[in-house]
Each structure stands twice: as structure tokens, then as C-alpha cells.
Amino acid sequence: MQLRNYHQHKQRHQQQQHRQHHQHRHQQHYPQQQQQHHQHHQHHHQQHYPQQQQQQHHHQHHQHHHQQHYPQQQQQHHQQQRHQQQGYQQHHHHQQHQHKKHHLCSSLTFVPKPCSDSTFIGLSCNISNTPCELATPCENDGTCINNKLATYGYICSCSSGFNGTYCELDHRICKPHLCLHNGTCNETSNTTFHCVCANGWEGIHCESMINRCEGVECMNNGVCRPLLLGYKCECLGTSYYGSHCEFTARKVVISKIISKSFSYIAIIAMSLVVMFVIIMDILTYCFGIDMTREELERYRREKRDKKRINRRVNKQLVRTNIS
């Protein structure tokens, strides 16, 4: 039916193209004759129908008079006619578009040939349409068995430790990633397990790293940081280095030497002062030798001399003021 409609539409299209081509050739070969015939027809119409021309002239005069007296009504009437024409054109274009769309869809419709064996589909009838082949619904290495009496048309035969419609429920004791950090899970019974941890890890699920800092002492206030299969002493700044921060940097050694030398010098100076005081006391009180007596007497004499000089000067000033 669709193929017949396509041939009929194609035949109508060819006839329309033939008519348009014939009219175009006729206009090219006989343009002058058509113009003369049109002029002769107009002249003959004017001679035989003068009364109709008068009526037409009267009708035009009446329209002009009506436009002068009723301009607003005429504009509304013209707008209504214009809207009606636009609506008709839109409806006509919509019908043409729907007709083209229907013709295109009917020409592109593909009807495949049915396969001889109903259990296969595809262009070459080489694809199985059984539920197990199309959906592969069974999970966790389950085996799919086609069964038309089943609810979904198949049955999943699950592996050990799995059940459910799609073998999606895992009831194994040792599930994946139960033992962390590459640990090995061993089933000890139907409900218990034991994780054999890799080197450097411990715990029920091998979740904890073994702390190698136990019993390790880092010198010079260093801090021990545990590592996998080992440890590391974090030394303070750049003053110390080594596996246990046991070595001192050269600049620290130099600063220690300088500080010690200054402390030694200060101790020596203080001890000399103390010894001098002790010796002076021994000479004074034990041997009666006073090393400072002469200096004290000389100081006293100078002080007395200064007082005498000051008195004389003051007396002279008083005399001068009185006189």
C-alpha cells in the first residue's frame, strides 16, 4: 500500500513538471501573439460593454465615497480580510508540510524479514533472543538457565555462598577486602574467620601498623616516628643528625666551645678577686701590714689641705665684700 502511494505521488509530480515546462515553452515562442490577443480582447470588451464600464466607474466612485465617510470601518474590514488570508496561507503551508512528512516517513519505513527460527533475531538471524543471552542477569559467576515456566523466563543457579534471584546476596564468611593491606582471610568455621596479615601489619582486619618505636630512644630530644617495617628519629632543627640524633652539628660544637671558654675566663677572674681580698686580710690582721694605710693618710692630708684653702678663700671674699 505504501509503495503504491509512492508511485502515484511520483507520477503526479512528473505530470505537473511536464505542464509547467509546456507553458514556459509556449510563452517563449508566442509572446507577441499573446500580447496582441490581450489588447484586442480589451478593445472588443470596451466597444461591446460600455454600460458595464459606466457601472464599474460608478462602483469605484461609490467605494471612494464610502472610504471618505467610513475610513475606520473600512480599515477594520481590510484587517479582517488580511488576517483571514494569513490564516488560510498558514493552514495551507501546514497541510503541505504534513503531507511531505508523511510521504518521507512512508518512504523510509523499513520492514525486516522474519527469521525462520523464532529464537533468533537480527539482520542475519544470528542473535539469540533468550533472556539469558540478552540480559545476562546472573551475578557473581552464577549460571543462567532458560525456563519458560519461571516468572522472568530464566533461573539463576548461584555459586557457593551466594543466593537471591540474581545471585546478588553474598553470604560468604571471607568477603572481599575483609582483611586489609593485602591480608589473607581464612575461614576457621561457618561463622568465624582469621586474617593472616602481611609483614608490618596487625589487628583483626590487619588495620593497624606495627609500632617499631617501642623501646627506641632518640637522643638530644629527638622524636621517634613509626614507619612500615621500621622507624625514624626526627631530630630538632639542623643542630643534630644521625639515626638516633646522636651526632652534633659543627656550628653547635663551635658555639659550645666559645660559651665554655667565656665561662672559664669569668670563673678565673672571680677567683683572682677573691684570692686578692683574702691575701690582703691575711697581711693586715695576721702580719700587721696594712697596704692601704699610707694611701689613706695621704688621702686625708689632701682633704685637710683642701679645707684650709677653701677657708682662706672664703675669708678673702668676705673682706672684699665688707670693704
Predicted model pTM? 0.40
User: Looking at residue 121, what DSSP letter applies?
Assistant: E
Tell me: the pLDDT tens digits for 158-190? 998 999 999 999 999 999 999 999 999 999 998
pLDDT at 49 over 60: no
Whole-number Å distance between alpha carbons of 13 and 84: 29
Number of Cβ atoms within 10 Å of the Cβ of 96:
10
- Please report where in the chains the cell 538471524 appears, as a residue: 125
pLDDT score at 241: 92
The three cell numbers of residue 309 are 684653702
Instruction: Let me know if domain 129-216 sits in CATH 2.10.25.10.
Output: yes
| CATH 2.10.25.10 domain residues, the chain | 129-216
Tell me: the pLDDT tens digits for 250-282? 888 888 888 888 889 999 999 999 998 888 888
240-241 and 201-202 as β-strands: parallel, antiparallel, unpaired?
unpaired
pLDDT score at 30: 42
Whole-number Å distance between alpha carbons of 318 and 323: 9
Whole-number Å distance between alpha carbons of 91 and 76: 23
**How far, rounded to the nearest angstrom, does the alpha carbon of residue 173 sit from its chain's CA centroid?**
39
Averaged pLDDT for residues 288-314? 80
The C-alpha torsion from 151 through 153 and 159 to 165, rounded to 10°, is -30
**How far, rounded to the nearest angstrom, does the alpha carbon of residue 176 sit from its chain's CA centroid?**
31
